[in-house]
C-alpha cells in the first residue's frame, strides 16, 4: 500500500516537474537540521567532517542518471539531495531512493553546486546573462536573479548574507533575501574557488596567488598573503588556521587572524582540490595523485599514499576513514591513520564531485552522468 502511494506521488511529481521545470519540495523546513550539508564543506569554514562514521566496505544502494556530468559539490537538506550539472540542470533527489523530486533547467553550466539556507537555494552559473540566483525551494519560484559576472563556484552563506566569487575577479556580498549588493571586492584576477568564513573575515584565493582576508561586514581588505602561484583550490579553515595549496605545488598553513604563514610544504604536484582536516592532521591531494597527511602543527608528513590518479574536488573525512572519488573512476576508502586503501569501488566514469555523507550514506557523482548512493555493506539490505 505504501509503495503504491509512493508511485502515485512520484508520477504526480514527475508530471508537475515535467510541465514546469521546477523544484518544489513539500516537507521543507526552515529549521536547521544538524545532519544537513547545506554548502561546501558543511560549514562556512568548510571544515566539517562526516557526522556519522561510515565504515567500509560499502555497497551501492542506487545509481541515478542525472543526464550530464554533475558539478563539484553535492548538498543535502530535508531528506533531499541537490545536484547541479554541467549541462545546466539542478536536480532535487530523494536521498533514499534517488527518485527525482524536481528539476530546474537553465541554458548554461551551473557553478559547482547549490547552497541551501532554510527554504531557499542559491547557485550561480557561467553566462553572459544573469549569473546568480536565489530560488524558493518550496514554491519553485525565483526570488531574485542578478548579473554579477561568470560564477564557477558554489556560494558561501553565513550570517544572513551570501558571499560569492566570480571569474571576472570579484568577491560579492549579497543580501540573501533580495540579492542586493552589500559590497564587492575587486581582486583583479579570476576566482575559481569558494570563499570561507572565519570570525568576521572572508577568506578567498584566486589566480593572483593571493589568499585574502576581507572584512565580512564591509569588504575591506584586512590582509593578503602571496602563495607564489595561482590558487584554484578552496581554502578550508580548521581552528584558527587556513589550509590551502596552489598549482605551483606549495601547500600552506596560514594564520587566519594575521595572514602570516605558519608553515609551508612543497608538494610533488599541483593542488587543484580542497583539503580536509581533523583535530591533528590536514589531508591534501595533489595533481600527480599523491595524498598526504600533514601534521597541523608543523606541516610534517605523517603519511603519504600514491593513489594513481588525482581527485577533482574534495576529501571527506568520516571518523577513522577518508573517502575520495578519483579521476581513475574509483571511490576509495582509506585509513586516516595510515593512508592505506581499505576498500574501493569502480564507478562508471571519472569522479567529478566531492563525496558527501548524509544520514549515514555516501553520495558521489561521476562525469558519465551518474550519481551514486552507497551504504555500509552491513546495512545494505535494511
Question: For the window 147-186, what string marks contact with other proteins as x by the rule CB under 8 A?
Answer: ----------------------------------------
Taking CB under 8 A as the criterion, the residue among 17, 22, 49, 69 binding other proteins is 69
- What grid cell was written down for 287? 595533481
Task: Say how many residues touch other proteins, by CB under 8 A.
Answer: 31
Q: How far apart are alpha carbons 164 and 153 in whole angstroms?
A: 7
Stretch that binds other proteins, among 9-17, 22-30, 215-223, 327-335 (CB under 8 A): 327-335
Residue 286 Cβ vs other proteins, minimum distance, rounded to whole Å: 7
Stretch that binds other proteins, among 90-98, 267-275, 277-285, 291-299 (CB under 8 A): 267-275
Query: CA 172 from chain center: how many Å?
Result: 19
By the rule CB under 8 A, 367 interacts with other proteins: yes
Torsion of CA 352, 203, 252, 268, to 10 degrees: 30
Q: State how beta strands 250-255 and 241-245 pair.
A: antiparallel
Residue 288 Cβ vs other proteins, minimum distance, rounded to whole Å: 5
Stretch that binds other proteins, among 11-19, 35-43, 51-59, 281-289 (CB under 8 A): 281-289
Of the pair 87, 339, the CB lying nearest other proteins is at 87
Stretch that binds other proteins, among 25-33, 49-57, 157-165, 264-272 (CB under 8 A): 264-272
Strand ranges for 23-126 from DSSP E = 58-65, 75-77, 80-84, 89-94, 100-105, 115-117, 120-124
Rounded to the nearest 5 degrees, what angle is found at the Cα of 176, between the Cα atoms of 87 and 204?
A: 70
Residue 377 Cβ vs other proteins, minimum distance, rounded to whole Å: 26
Q: Is residue 98 within 8 Å of 363, Cβ to Cβ?
A: no
Query: CA 15 from chain center: how many Å?
Result: 30
Taking CB under 8 A as the criterion, the residue among 155, 310, 314, 355 binding other proteins is 310
Best CA proximity match to 275, nearest among 328, 322, 240, 230 = 322
Best CA proximity match to 125, nearest among 96, 95, 141, 147 = 147
| Neighbour tally for 263: CB within 10 Å | 16
Residue 359 Cβ vs other proteins, minimum distance, rounded to whole Å: 29
By the rule CB under 8 A, 109 interacts with other proteins: yes
By the rule CB under 8 A, 286 interacts with other proteins: yes
Residue 162 Cβ vs other proteins, minimum distance, rounded to whole Å: 25
Taking CB under 8 A as the criterion, the residue among 96, 136, 255, 288 binding other proteins is 288
Of the pair 107, 260, the CB lying nearest other proteins is at 107
Q: In what order do the strands lie in the sheet with 58-65?
A: 58-65, 370-376, 361-366, 356-358
Burial status of residue 136 (CB atoms within 10 A of its CB: 0-12, 13-18, 19 or more): middle
Binding residues for other proteins, rule: CB under 8 A, are 68-69, 86-88, 109, 126, 207, 229-230, 232, 247, 269-270, 272, 286-289, 308-310, 312, 326-329, 349-350, 352, 367
Amino acid at each position: 500500500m505504501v509503495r503504491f502511494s509512493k508511485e502515485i506521488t512520484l508520477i504526480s511529481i514527475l508530471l508537475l516537474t515535467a510541465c514546469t521545470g521546477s523544484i518544489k519540495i513539500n516537507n521543507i523546513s526552515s529549521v536547521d537540521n544538524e545532519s544537513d550539508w547545506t554548502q561546501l564543506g558543511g560549514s562556512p569554514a568548510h571544515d566539517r567532517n562526516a557526522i556519522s562514521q561510515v565504515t567500509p566496505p560499502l555497497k551501492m544502494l542506487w545509481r541515478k542518471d542525472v543526464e550530464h556530468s554533475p558539478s563539484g559539490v553535492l548538498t543535502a537538506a530535508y531528506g533531499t539531495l541537490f545536484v547541479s550539472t554541467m549541462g545546466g540542470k539542478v536536480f532535487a533527489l530523494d536521498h533514499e531512493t534517488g527518485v527525482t523530486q524536481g528539476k530546474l533547467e537553465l541554458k548554461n553550466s551551473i557553478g559547482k553546486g547549490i547552497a541551501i539556507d532554510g527554504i531557499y537555494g542559491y547557485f550561480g552559473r557561467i553566462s553572459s546573462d544573469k549569473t546568480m540566483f536565489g530560488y524558493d525551494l518550496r514554491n519553485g519560484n525565483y526570488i531574485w536573479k542578478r548579473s554579477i559576472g561568470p560564477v564557477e563556484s558554489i556560494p558561501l552563506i553565513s550570517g544572513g548574507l551570501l558571499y560569492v566569487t566570480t571569474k571576472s575577479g570579484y568577491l560579492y556580498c549579497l543580501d540573501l533575501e533580495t540579492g542586493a549588493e552589500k559590497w564587492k571586492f575587486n581582486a583583479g584576477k579570476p576566482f575559481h574557488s569558494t570563499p570561507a568564513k572565519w570570525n568576521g573575515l572572508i577568506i578567498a584565493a584566486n589566480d593572483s596567488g593571493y589568499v585574502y582576508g576581507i572584512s565580512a561586514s564591509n569588504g575591506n581588505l584586512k590582509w593578503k598573503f602571496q602563495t607564489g602561484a595561482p590558487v584554484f583550490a578552496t581554502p578550508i579553515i580548521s581552528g584558527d588556521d587556513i589550509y590551502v595549496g596552489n598549482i605551483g605545488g606549495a601547500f600552506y598553513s596560514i594564520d587566519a587572524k594575521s595572514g602570516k604563514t605558519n608553515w609551508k610544504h612543497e608538494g610533488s604536484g599541483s593542488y587543484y582540490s580542497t583539503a580536509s582536516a581533523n583535530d591533528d592532521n590536514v589531508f591534501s591531494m595533489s595533481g600527480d595523485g599523491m595524498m598526504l597527511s600533514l601534521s597541523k602543527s608543523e606541516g610534517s608528513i605523517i603519511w603519504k599514499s600514491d593513489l594513481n590518479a588525482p581527485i577533482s574536488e574534495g576529501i571527506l573525512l568520516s571518523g577513522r576513514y577518508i573517502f575520495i572519488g578519483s579521476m581513475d573512476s574509483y571511490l576509495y576508502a582509506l585509513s586516516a591513520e595510515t593512508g592505506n586503501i581499505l576498500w574501493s569501488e569502480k564507478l562508471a566514469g571519472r569522479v567529478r564531485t566531492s563525496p558527501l555523507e548524509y544520514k549515514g550514506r555516501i553520495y558521489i557523482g561521476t562525469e558519465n552522468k551518474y550519481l551514486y548512493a552507497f551504504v555500509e555493506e552491513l546495512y545494505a539490505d535494511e
